[in-house]
Amino acid sequence: MGKMISWIFMTLALASCTTTGPETDAAPVEDRSGVARVDADSVQRGNLPDILTKGALSRRSVYFALDRYDIEEGYRDLVAAHARFLVENRDFRVLIQGNTDERGSREYNLSLGQKRAEAVRQTLLLLGVQETQVEAVSLGEEKPRAEGHNETAWAENRRADILYSGEF
């Protein structure tokens, strides 16, 4: 067993050419197998004022229909409320994260999520928010809030979220 384990796990060493084979020189088998490991985890969170975590401004999600990226009537007040807050509080910044359901190309969905986030950003800008206060990015299909594989889950995931500084 020990021999087998060593076969499996021993670090692979560099090989090179020293002797000749039947027809040709012995070809060195290059060591391409060393792979270093990196840990990317780094998450910090700040504290937000109550006004952003309780009441109307605690609602942060705008939902979209399949393949659509226009803001429906039912979400215009929500976006307008955040616009008012941001106009009155120029020190605050928001990140708009666009999301899609899981179906289709990951990269295309990343672009579709960007269009949804961009639709929210454009509305905020129209309502007086400054460019420097808002950034639109996409999470595509990568961070589903609902993990299911059905229409209910897909509808929940076609969404743009408004995150304030300290939340991203």
Partner 1 sequence: MKFSCFPVGFVRLSLSLYLCWSLAAEAQLAIEITGAGANRIPVAIANFAGEAQGGPTLTDVVRRDLERSGLFSLVNAGDAALSETAAVDYDGWKLLGADALAAGSLRRNTDGRMEARFRLYDIGLQGNLGGAAYLAASPQLRAAGHRVADYIYEKLTGEKGVFSTRIAYVHKTGGRYELRIADSDGQNAQTALVSREPIISPAWSPDGARIAYVSFENKKPIIFVHSLTTGARQVIANFKGSNSAPAWSPDGRRLAIVLTRDGNSQIYTIGANGGAPARLTSSAGIDTEPQFSADGAQVYFTSDRGGSPQIYRVAATGGVAERVTFEGSYNVSPRPSPDGRNMAFITRQDGRFQLAIMDLQSRQVQILSDFGRDESPSFAPNGRMIVLATEVNGRGVLSAVSTDGAIRQRLSVPVGDVREPAWGPFPR
* Least distance between partner 1 and beta carbon 35 (Å): 4
119, β-bridge pairs: none
Angle at 160 between CA 117 and CA 148, to 5 degrees: 135
Determine the Cα–Cα distance for residues 18 and 36; give it in Å rounded to an integer.
Answer: 29
**Hey, which residues between 40 and 99 contact partner 1 (CB under 8 A)?**
40-43, 95, 97
3 interacts with partner 1 by CB under 8 A: yes
Shorter beta-carbon distance to partner 1: residue 70 or 73: 70
105, exposed or middle or buried, with CB in 10 Å at 0-12, 13-18, 19+? Answer: exposed
Q: Per-residue contact track with partner 1, 142 to 161, x per CB under 8 A?
A: xx-----x------------
**Hey, which residues between 21 and 50 contact partner 1 (CB under 8 A)?**
21-43
137, β-bridge pairs: 97
Residue 20 has φ and ψ, to the nearest 5°, of: -105, 150
Long-range contacts of 49-56 (CB under 8 A, 24+ apart): 51/85, 52/85, 52/164, 56/81
Contact 127, 88 (CB under 8 A): no
* Least distance between partner 1 and beta carbon 129 (Å): 15
Shorter beta-carbon distance to partner 1: residue 79 or 139: 139
**Hey, which residues between 107 and 126 contact partner 1 (CB under 8 A)?**
107-108, 110-112, 114-115, 118
Q: What is the size of the binding site for partner 1 (CB under 8 A)?
A: 64
Interface with partner 1 by CB under 8 A: which residues?
Answer: 1, 3-4, 6-8, 10-43, 95, 97, 103-108, 110-112, 114-115, 118, 135-140, 142-143, 149, 168
